[in-house]
Amino acid sequence: MKALILCAGYATRMYPLTEDRPKSLLHVANKPVIEYIIKGLEKVPEVDKIYIVTNAKFFNNFENWKKTYFTEKEICIISDCTTSDENKFGAIGDMRFVIETTNIDDDLIVTAGDNLYKLNMNDFVRFFRKNSTSIAVHDVKSKELVKKYNEVRLDDKRRVISFIEKPSDPKTSLAAICLYIFPGKQLGLINKYIEEGNNPDQPGYYIQWLSRRVDVFGYIFTERWYDIGDLNQYEKANSEYTKRRYGD
């Protein structure tokens, strides 16, 4: 099993903090965001390699960080060679780029590099083994917040029966975060999605498309989740993690 952390965005909404540093290397409670993500992946025995995809602007930032971070997992940092928001590939475009560049055909965990979550990754992997394509789902407790993210509806077997990105009138408060596990045999569908001319950036649109073609299952977790999409969310996460001492 491989893991892919998406870190190729330019985070312009978080300037000036991210003018010279990627979001995932910002510190939360004195530790880079990406290290929390990797700590979770390190606990999964099946994961034998972690890919981090970034862009030309931030590639050296990640290379320098890697020199100071020790893990028993192999970490490979890949630049997609883009230089700005105008020519970026987008999250799904980067997924395809890494899969094709490295010839990944194993089962693949994909996660955003700006999400903080405390779910048990081994439980998530076991859920995937029992079912198939799996997405992490969180109850955000607010239908207004769901409008900002996506709405997920599941049947009694946790199969996704409806996935709507940016819904205007959500019926539930369940939303998927950018944390997925795809079977190796289905990775080719990412290329098909892009070749059809679909949105290559927001990964929720791919899940919406995918759930209409194959069975996708929702793993509901109740632990805390922070989507560090702007300065307010970053400051809130930093305050909460510092206060609760989520260091590990």
Tokens for 200, please give them.
């290559």
- Would you kindly state where each structural domain of the chain is located, as residue ranges? 2-244
Assign domain 2-244 to a CATH class. Answer: alpha beta
Closest CA to 96 of 195, 177, 7, 169: 195
Confidence at residue 162, expressed as pLDDT on a 0 to 100 scale? 93
Confidence of residue 246 (pLDDT cuts 50, 70, 90): low
> Per residue in 50-79, pLDDT tens?
999 999 999 999 999 999 999 989 999 999
What DSSP character marks residue 47? -
pLDDT at residue 86 greater than cutoff 90: no
Map residue 74 onto helix, strand or coil: strand
Tell the burial category of 97 from Cβ atoms under 10 Å away from its Cβ (0-12, 13-18, 19+): buried
Residues in contact with 56: Cβ distance below 8 Å, sequence separation at least 6, in sequence order: 79, 80, 81, 82, 83
Average pLDDT estimate for 38-49: 95
Confidence at residue 245, expressed as pLDDT on a 0 to 100 scale? 62
> Per residue in 123-170, pLDDT tens?
999 999 999 999 999 998 888 888 988 999 999 999 999 999 999 998
Question: Which pTM was predicted?
Answer: 0.94
Strand pairing partners for 175?
Answer: 138
pLDDT at residue 105 greater than cutoff 70: yes
> Per residue in 110-124, pLDDT tens?
999 999 998 999 999
Confidence at residue 203, expressed as pLDDT on a 0 to 100 scale? 92
Residue 16 preceded by cis peptide, ω within 30: yes
Cβ(37)–Cβ(115) below 8 Å: yes
> Per residue in 198-238, pLDDT tens?
999 889 999 999 999 999 999 999 988 888 877 888 888 88
pLDDT at residue 248 greater than cutoff 70: no
Phi/psi of residue 241, each to 5°?
Answer: -65, -35
